[in-house]
């Protein structure tokens, strides 16, 4: 479970991440990263999830969110940042593919953010 202090909750926080324009996409997820002005430790990374109704009914959406939250805990973060993970409709279809797509998009998004 992702602790409350490590989650994005307010619309303004999500908007700030989306406006940073650093993102990496894969067929089933898009990862947006906003690097803070000051260097922060990796433990301060906050994550928010967007899973629209196009993904499926409430059961499918919640299953996708639970899987994504679990994957975030296992991913290395080189620096503290605010991250939004947006699930696309294929994310509910193939569970194994979601793992690969998420890891790839996460890694590429942080590479882009570190070069900015």
When divided into structural domains, the chain yields a total of 1
For the whole model, what pTM was predicted?
0.92
Q: Which DSSP string corresponds to 76-95?
A: --SS--EEEEEE-GGGGT-H
Is the Cβ–Cβ distance between 10 and 48 less than 8 Å? no
Dump pLDDT digits (tens) for 65-112: 999 999 998 898 888 899 999 999 988 887 789 999 999 999 999 999
CA distance 33 to 108: 10
Contact assessment for residue 45 and residue 83, using Cβ atoms and an 8 Å cutoff: yes
Q: What are phi and psi of 32, to 5 degrees?
A: -105, 135
Q: What is the CATH number of the domain that holds 64?
A: 3.30.230.10
Question: What tens digit of pLDDT does each residue of 30-68 get?
Answer: 999 998 877 778 888 999 999 999 999 999 999 999 999
Domain range for 20: 4-115
- Residues paired with 84 in a beta bridge: 32, 48
């Amino acid at each position: 479970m992702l602790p409350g202090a490590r989650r994005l909750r307010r619309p303004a926080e999500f908007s700030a991440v989306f406006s940073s324009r650093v993102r990496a996409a894969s067929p089933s997820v898009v990862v947006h990263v906003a690097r803070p002005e000051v260097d922060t430790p990796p433990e301060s990374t906050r994550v928010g999830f967007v899973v629209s109704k196009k993904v499926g009914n409430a059961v499918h959406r919640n299953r996708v969110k639970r899987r994504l939250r679990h994957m975030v805990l296992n991913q290395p973060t080189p620096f503290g940042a605010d991250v939004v993970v947006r699930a696309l409709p294929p994310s509910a279809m193939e569970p194994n593919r979601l793992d690969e797509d998420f890891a790839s998009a996460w890694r590429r998004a942080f590479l882009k953010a570190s070069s900015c």
